[in-house]
Chain A
Amino acid sequence: MLTTEIRDIISASKERGWVLEPEAKRLCSLAGLTVPRFAWTTGLEDAVRFAREIGYPVVAKVISPQVLHKSDVGGVVVDIDSDEKLREAFHRFSQITGFTGMLVEEMVSGIQLIAGAKIDYQFGLVILLGVGGTGVEIYRDVTMRMAPLKPKDVAFMVRALKAHQLLEGYRGSEPISMSELTRTMVAFSDLVMDLEELIESIDLNPITCSSDRCVVADARIMLTAEKA
């Protein structure tokens, strides 16, 4: 069931047509998904204080209602390991159209996956799992299933990916936590089932998976067009 807070986030974003990243992360977290520690900072001092609190290195991302694709405008900096670099990022972001703050968050490492949801005309709500990151549309290593997902569906989906060996531990690398991935996908499926009438599509990209957790490092929630 949707909490009041989730409904509030959606209705506040309705006019824009999509949910700002910090709010999308908050929404994911309310739905039981793991997100990195993050803060929406509007001043440099706040940003530095939070970065020191969670410890460098950190990631900084621009927050702007006019920027849906942050990487395209140079709005993402990873591996920031000093106050100085954080300051540089802040100054640069503040020049970007519509700047309303900077997201500072913990760096997470692991294998990057994408989970998505869309309303398909013929099949209704469909959930996608694939190899994520910025190269997602280059590799196109994805599979789909109709929602709702059961735990065994997630196992089938993983096996359908060309990269499944990477997830299961390839040449000495540690396998990702299948139980965490399963929990994440089923929680995501439950969330989108509840949001079906409100959303057009969702990308959780990347979900960064390691041997102990799967962290939703970015979320893009596109809402259905407001009915006139």
Chain B
Amino acid sequence: MNLQALFEPKTMAVIGVSLTNSRHPANVIYSKNHLRYPVTVFPVNPRGGTLQGERVFANISEIPERVDLAVIAARAEYVPDILSDCIQAGAGGAVVVSGGFAESGRQDLQDRIVTIAKDEGFPFIGPNCLGIYTPSHMDTFFLPSERMVRPDPGNVALVSQSGGILVDQIIKFSGEGIGLSRAVSIGNKALIGELDLLNYFAEDTETHVIAFYVEGFGRREGRDFVLAASQCPKPVIILKAGKSPGGSRAVSSHTASLAGDYETFSTIISQHGVVEAKNEFELVSFCESLSCYQQPIEGRIGIVTGSGGHGALAVDVCSAHGLSVPTFSEHAQTEIRKNLSSSVQSIASVANPIDLTGSAIDDDFVLATSYLSRRKEIDCIVVLLLPYLPGITSDLGVRLSQIYQQEHKPLVAYVPHLEKYGMLIEGFELNRIPVSPSIEGAVLMAEALRRNKPC
């Protein structure tokens, strides 16, 4: 099944538009694509007529061009016939937004549309979903544009069983400056599920990181998924809901009790190199970090800070995650210290963390970071920046990014108060260095690189 038409359609049909209700989901989808995206959109309603001065087609077969993507937002009982019409008309694929299938007791209706599509090798997403979002190209979300936050185009693909979680994550991505390649809400995943999208995004040149929100896999689907993920050259991240044991199911063996559903899930995905995000915060941090760096590290962290307290908290988070913060040799410490500016030379602590103190200037951060970039005992650098220190300027983001461009040792930064220090942050992010608004987040970004391998 070729999914290309789903993600980069040139022509779309929106089936089920209302002639009277402009807030109908189909109308919202029609309007946003018609007015704001570089796609040609055709509204469809069996009654025909006009919508916003455009002809409404009574059937997809009447549309004069070949339709790449049909978005179906009609009542569930009409969907099987509509799907057959789409196939007949030679459409490339569909998104079935409509609910009223397995989730509300109509497994039979769902089975029917799967059979129709499978027989013809016709791909569709859903039903009961928001569908697809391809930044700057098109989206099938029935959410008015002015209510949506629009993230920049980027290289992370996000797949979610829940539409609500997906939109929330898009908002968070936007806030953190993480670019999105595609976002997909798969709803009931009747035909196309996580495995199909993993396989598609593994080949998709726009996508470098593939992240999933999963409530559960179908029978033995998890096995097929991890086997495919272990062959995937791109980082795969999963946030799993439903971690607590499901009720008081009686278990008669120790194995059944110890290898609970979630324990098994967590253990097995990590063995296959899938990065498990334990919560939304980890998901965002991991996506940001892995969208910049993909080489796995062992987890030997060098910390550069302008405050002893920040360094100490970062060490705590490192040790909680099994990352080491090796102490530098006397020789290395002397090397670092001798080049520091005169105001901090005698007061800085250089054992790791390197605490440059509140008197540090940009040059001290640059020097310490360059030095760590060349040390073999360190495989990732965490820089804790306090932009309110008098010696720090907004140029520091760019200057530290240049060190990465030269030395290629992964570097992550912590900068507080996002809006106020925007220029410093952009100095990092526009040069593909991830920045977290919290110390813990910065350490998690390093942790993502360690976990991005079978363990």
Identify the A interface with B (CB < 8 A): 18, 68, 114, 116-118, 120-124, 126, 128, 130, 136-137, 140, 142-146, 156, 200-203, 205, 220, 222
Contact = CB atoms under 8 A, between A and B. Distances in A.
B253 A123 contact: no
Interface string B233-257: 0000000000000000000111111
11 contacts: A18-B252, A114-B254, A116-B255, A120-B264, A121-B219, A123-B222, A126-B268, A130-B258, A136-B254, A136-B258, A145-B267
B200 interface: no
A124 B223 contact: yes
Contacts of B219: 121-122
B217 interface: yes
Contact of B253 (A121, A124, A220): A220
B253 A116 contact: yes
B403 to A, nearest CB: 36
B168 interface: no
Contacts of A130: 258
Given A18-B252, A122-B216, A222-B256, 17 more contacts: A116-B255, A116-B259, A118-B259, A120-B259, A120-B261, A122-B218, A122-B223, A122-B265, A123-B264, A124-B223, A137-B254, A145-B271, A201-B253, A201-B256, A202-B253, A203-B254, A220-B253
Contacts, number: 86
A18 B253 CA distance: 11
B257 A137 contact: yes
B220 interface: yes
Residue of B219, B254, B261, B267 ringed by the most chain A CB atoms within 10 A: B254
B428 to A, nearest CB: 36
Contacts of A146: 223, 226, 268
A202 B255 contact: yes
B221 interface: yes
B259 A144 contact: yes
B220 A128 contact: no
Contacts of A123: 220, 222-223, 226, 264-265, 268
Given A122-B216, A144-B263, A146-B223, A128 B255 contact: yes
Contacts of A117: 255
- Secondary structure class of chain B's binding surface, majority of residues: helix
A124 B265 CA distance: 11
Nearest to B454: A156
A171 B222 CA distance: 41
Main secondary structure on A side of the interface with B: strand
Contacts of A142: 258-259
B255 A122 contact: no
A124 B220 contact: yes
A176 B218 CA distance: 39
A144 B267 contact: yes
A162 B252 CA distance: 25
Contact of B252 (A116, A137, A145, A222): A222
Given A201-B253, A201-B255, A203-B255, A121 B223 contact: no
Interface string B295-338: 00000000000000000000000000000000000000000000
B264 A203 contact: no
Interface string B276-299: 000000000000000000000000
B267 A143 contact: yes
A203 B251 CA distance: 12
B224 to A, nearest CB: 9
Interface in B197-228: 216-223, 226
B216 to A, nearest CB: 7
Contacts of A126: 259, 264, 268
B383 to A, nearest CB: 33
A43 B261 CA distance: 44
A31 B268 CA distance: 26
A128 B267 CA distance: 11
A118 B256 contact: yes
A162 to B, nearest CB: 13
